[in-house]
Amino acid sequence: MREVSPVVLRPVPEAGRSVLTVVASADARVHALLTAVCAALVAESGRLDELDQRVGDGDTGSTFASAARRISEELDHLPLAEPPALLLRLAELVSLSMGGSSGVLISIALTTAGAAMAEGTPFTEALVRGVEGMQRYGGARPGDRTMLDALVPAMEVLRSGGGLSAAAAAAAEGAQATAYLERAAAGRSSYVPPEHLHGVVDPGAAAVAVIVTAMAGVPEGEESTADASS
């Protein structure tokens, strides 16, 4: 007979309260980028939900919009001029406000990227590591009809020195290509018959395209801390 050790109980941080020490700081461009992304996700939530009603649970838009609203509420309290701390805090906000596997995986990606930056990794390369972490823990790959089909092409463009406009184009093209993938190897869509998937863009990939397109639409201004670190 195996001996069972006593159960150890540890208090869980109160929901909605940060487990990080967050010191607000200002960066006009980062503020503008996050504002644009949050506004776009809220505006596109209905379209994304409609896509997901055809191939998933019908809540992709609502899920992303929930995270966007929470980040908008916290915007003036974020460490905008400290990219590592910002990424870690965004990961925390996403984990608190965005349900489902998408929220978990995005939180993992942001946490991985923030930790990499804290160790001295340049911004873009840190984001690449975050996406690699998402793939490692989620098990999906490009071509599996997930948000990675838009996210990976966008990151490849940024990694090669391309700007946000080129990354947005790559994300949009990658998202559109999911409409012609006959099977999904991950997520809720993997349970949907192939004939129902054909012609429907993956909602997660579409959400990524919305995010990168919104960022690309922000006019260039004062150089941000993140830009200087890349």
User: 28-219 is classed in which CATH architecture?
Assistant: Alpha Horseshoe (1.25)
In a 13 Å sphere around the CA of 200, the CA atoms on its Cβ side amount to 25
Residue 25: beta bridge partners?
79
Q: Which pLDDT score, from 0 to 100, does residue 29 have?
A: 97
User: What's the rounded Cα separation, in Å, for the pair 141 and 185?
Assistant: 9
Per-residue pLDDT of the chain (230 residues; tens, 9 = 90+): 556 567 655 554 444 445 567 899 999 999 999 999 999 999 999 999 999 988 878 899 999 999 999 999 999 999 999 999 999 999 999 999 998 888 999 999 999 999 999 999 999 999 999 999 999 998 889 988 999 999 999 999 999 999 999 999 999 999 999 998 765 555 555 545 555 566 789 999 999 999 999 999 999 864 444 444 44
Q: Contact at 8 Å (CB) between 168 and 18?
A: no
Domain boundaries, the chain: 28-219
Q: Which pLDDT score, from 0 to 100, does residue 169 have?
A: 98
User: What's the rounded Cα separation, in Å, for the pair 69 and 62?
Assistant: 10
